[in-house]
Amino acid sequence: MYIKNTSQLLSDDLNPNQLILREIGLQALEKSIYAVKPKMLMKNSVRIMKNKLFIQNDEFDLTKFNNIFIIGGGKATAEMALSLERFLKSFGEVTYEGIINIPINTKNLDLFENSKIKINLADHPIPNEQGIKGTRSMMDLIENSKKNDLIFCLISGGGSALLPLPKPEINLKDLQKINSLLLSSGASIHEINIIRKHLSDFKGGNLAKKLYNSSGATLISLIISDVVGDDLDSVASGPTIPDKTTFRDALKIIKKYSLLKKIPTSIRNYIETGLGNQELENPKINDPCFSNIHNYLIGSVSTAIKETSSLLKQKGFKVTYFSKNVTGEARNFGKSLFPLISKYFDEKPNRENSKKIALIGSGELTVTIKGKGVGGRNQEMLLSFLAFIMDKNYYCDFLIIGANLDGLEGNSKACGALVDNTVVEQMRSKKIDPNQFLRYNDSNSFFKKLGSELITGPTGCNVNDLILILISS
Among residues 87, 121, 89, 117, the alpha carbon closest in space to that of 107 is found at: 121
- Relative to beta strand 318-326, strand 293-299 is unpaired
- In this prediction, residues 231-248 reach a mean pLDDT of 96
pLDDT (0 to 100) of residue 1: 87
- C-alpha 351: how far from its chain's center? 42
Helices (H) and strands (E) in the chain, counts: 17, 15
Q: 3-class DSSP state for residue 401?
A: strand
pLDDT in tens, 394-403: 878 999 999 9
- In this prediction, residues 151-170 reach a mean pLDDT of 96
The CATH architecture one would assign to domain 6-36+302-472 is 3-Layer(aba) Sandwich (3.40)
Q: How far apart are CA 438 and CA 338, in angstroms?
A: 17
Residue ranges of the chain assigned to CATH 3.40.1480.10? 6-36+302-472
Helix axes 247-256 and 265-275, enclosed angle (nearest 10): 140
- Top CATH class of 39-165+200-245+282-299 equals alpha beta
pLDDT (0 to 100) of residue 354: 64
Q: Is the pLDDT of residue 299 over 90?
A: yes
pLDDT (0 to 100) of residue 22: 98
pTM given for the model: 0.89
Among residues 21, 6, 33, the alpha carbon closest in space to that of 357 is found at: 21
List all residues 6 or more positions away from 317 whose beta carbon is below 8 Å from its beta carbon.
356, 357, 358, 470
pLDDT (0 to 100) of residue 213: 97
Q: How far apart are CA 42 and CA 298, in angstroms?
A: 7
pLDDT in tens, 7-29: 999 998 899 999 999 999 999 99
pLDDT in tens, 48-104: 988 899 999 999 999 999 999 999 999 999 999 999 999 998 877 678 999 999 999
Q: 3-class DSSP state for residue 442?
A: coil
Query: What confidence tier does 351 reach under pLDDT thresholds 50, 70, 90?
Result: low
Residue ranges of the chain assigned to CATH 3.40.50.10180? 39-165+200-245+282-299
Share of the chain above pLDDT 70, in %: 97
Q: Is the pLDDT of residue 220 over 60?
A: yes
Share of the chain above pLDDT 90, in %: 86
10 Å Cβ neighbour count for 106?
Answer: 16
Least confident of 69-73, 141-145, 166-170, 342-346: 342-346
Q: How far apart are CA 246 and CA 281, in angstroms?
A: 7
Among residues 309, 407, 304, the alpha carbon closest in space to that of 32 is found at: 304
